[in-house]
């Protein structure tokens, strides 16, 4: 027997995550498999998204984000037997499928492999694909977990294979469930093990009429994203989050010492994801425009507040930190990224380069002060012209007065 639920997670983007990541909708998948005696044999709850790069009929390349899976089925999911291990099989959209296989040893079980199949004949998802048909990517994993323990990985995990990027987070899974009861003992992935320290959080007294007291300048942290060829994204910045929920305003300084960075890099998009013990994800998504400049296009956040509630916001229509490709963007002064009326990010000592990083170092920076200079130039020119005009008028009136005085003397 197969029991499952599919429900939307507000504010994503993540995931991931998903992804997003942020502004794209993501879904939490939940599956409970039962054996012939109606005892639970496998439990899984997770979130996932996919990005597929494909060639178009006009010989260009596009990247398609697949985060809204739509209606899903779990045909082929099994508890396993002596001949074959447990398997989670998910079908969605038109000809898309995802499979996770499990194996068992004496005292452990393993997430053995993951396969993802997509159909470029789906004209809705890939309307202009050059090569139509089914494509499958396979990833051996061999993640070993003690028997009778639930595997948990809230952090973002990324699988990359040529033109396909898979991202997973909020993963909770247990195969070979014993006695029909999902274990309360959790086996954490390595990323979750490194995110156990609670960052310093400052909040104001709840009040619908007061604003939060300004906090001290946050410490700047350095974050990076690596792909198979080395570092592909660099960011250095101090981050201060301004959150308003239920008329309660909070100011949160991000502690870089307890914040972990992950992400991914593509030819025209790049993702920097930050997470900690309280921040499920804080996504900065960069994009290329006009083939020669980059900018911050998207921010997505989901985090736990001190009152126990979850705060989630996504915006994929931003335009900040604009700079030429091949350079970095720098701004030492305080800037504000307004994601929504309820969420703003103050940045300090900012420097970011999401594309064309060479040897793990920043390229020449475009400073935000250049924007100020460009703004001041027309003001200065206008002021100079106004001054010239005033001098001309004064000279005219002085000359006119002298002219009248000459007539009176005659």
Least confident span in 12-16, 33-37, 91-95, 172-176: 12-16
Distance from C-alpha of 51 to C-alpha of 57, rounded to nearest angstrom = 19
Please give the Cα distance from 86 to 43 (Å, whole number).
11
234 Cβ contact list (under 8 Å, min separation 6): 222, 223, 224, 328, 351, 352, 353, 357, 360, 361, 362
As a whole number of angstroms, the distance between CA 106 and CA 118 comes to 35
- Distance (Å) of CA 287 to CA 15, 272, 317, 319: 17, 12, 11, 10
User: Contact at 8 Å (CB) between 349 and 220?
Assistant: yes
Per residue in 202-233, pLDDT (tens digit) is: 333 334 434 555 568 999 999 999 887 789 99
% residues pLDDT > 70 (the chain)? 81
Mean of all residue pLDDT scores within the chain: 82
Nearest to 220, CA basis, from 245, 241, 240: 240
Whether residue 158 has pLDDT greater than 50: yes
**Tens-place pLDDT, residues 297-311:** 999 998 888 887 888
- Condensed to tens digits (0 to 9), the pLDDT of residues 321-338 reads 999 999 999 999 999 999
The predicted pLDDT at position 196 comes to 38
**Run of H or E including 364:** none
Name the pLDDT band for 277 (thresholds 50, 70, 90).
confident
Largest interatomic CA distance in the chain: 127
C-alpha of 378 from chain center: 37
pLDDT score recorded for residue 309? 82
- Residue 410, pLDDT above cutoff 80: no
Q: Which domains does the chain have, with CATH numbers?
A: 29-188 (2.40.160.110), 221-369 (2.40.160.110)
Sign of the dihedral defined by the CA atoms of residues 104, 109, 112, 118, in that order: positive
Most confident of 14-18, 196-200, 236-240, 366-370: 236-240
Q: Give the pLDDT band of residue 163 (cuts 50, 70, 90).
A: confident
First and final C-alpha spacing in the chain: 118
Q: What is the pLDDT of residues 46-85, one digit of tens each?
A: 989 898 999 999 988 888 888 778 889 999 999 988 678 9
Tokens coding 379: 């003001």
Average pLDDT over residues 374-386: 58
How does 36-48 read in b/e, with b if 16+ C-beta sit within 10 Å? eeeebbbbbbbbb
């Amino acid at each position: 027997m197969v029991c499952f639920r599919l429900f939307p997670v507000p504010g994503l983007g993540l995931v991931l995550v998903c992804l997003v990541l942020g502004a794209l909708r993501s879904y939490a998948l939940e599956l409970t498999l039962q054996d012939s005696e109606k005892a639970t044999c496998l439990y899984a709850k997770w979130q996932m998204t996919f990005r597929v790069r494909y060639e178009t009929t006009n010989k260009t390349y596009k990247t398609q984000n697949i985060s809204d899976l739509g209606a899903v089925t779990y045909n082929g999911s099994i508890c396993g037997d002596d001949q074959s291990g447990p398997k989670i099989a998910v079908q969605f959209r038109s000809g898309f499928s995802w499979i996770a296989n499990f194996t068992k040893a004496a005292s452990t079980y393993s997430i053995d492999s993951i396969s993802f199949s997509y159909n470029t004949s789906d004209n809705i998802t890939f309307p202009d694909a050059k090569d139509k048909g089914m494509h499958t990517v396979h990833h051996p994993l061999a993640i070993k977990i003690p028997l009778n323990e639930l595997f948990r990985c809230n952090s973002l995990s990324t699988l990359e294979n040529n033109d396909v990027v898979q991202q997973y987070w909020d993963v909770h899974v247990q195969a070979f469930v014993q006695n029909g009861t999902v274990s309360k003992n959790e086996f954490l992935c390595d990323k979750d093990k490194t995110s156990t320290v609670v960052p310093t959080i400052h909040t104001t007294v709840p009040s619908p009429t007061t604003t939060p007291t300004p906090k001290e300048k946050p410490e700047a942290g350095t974050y990076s994203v690596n792909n198979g060829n080395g570092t592909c994204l660099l960011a250095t910045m101090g981050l201060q989050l301004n959150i308003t929920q239920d008329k309660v305003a909070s100011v949160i300084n991000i502690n870089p010492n307890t914040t972990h960075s992950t992400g991914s890099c593509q030819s025209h998009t790049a993702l920097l994801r930050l997470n900690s013990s309280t921040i499920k994800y804080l996504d900065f998504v960069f994009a290329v425009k006009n083939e020669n400049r980059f900018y911050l296009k998207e921010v997505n956040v989901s985090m736990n507040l001190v009152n126990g509630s979850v705060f989630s916001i996504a915006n994929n229509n931003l335009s900040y930190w604009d700079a030429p490709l091949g350079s970095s963007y720098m701004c030492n002064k305080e800037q504000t990224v307004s994601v929504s009326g309820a969420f703003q990010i103050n940045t300090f000592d900012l420097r970011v380069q999401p594309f064309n990083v060479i040897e793990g170092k920043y390229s020449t920076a475009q400073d935000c002060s250049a924007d100020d200079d460009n703004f001041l130039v027309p003001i200065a020119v206008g002021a100079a012209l106004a001054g010239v005009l005033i001098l001309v008028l004064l000279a005219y009136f002085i000359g006119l007065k002298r002219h009248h005085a000459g007539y009176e003397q005659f």
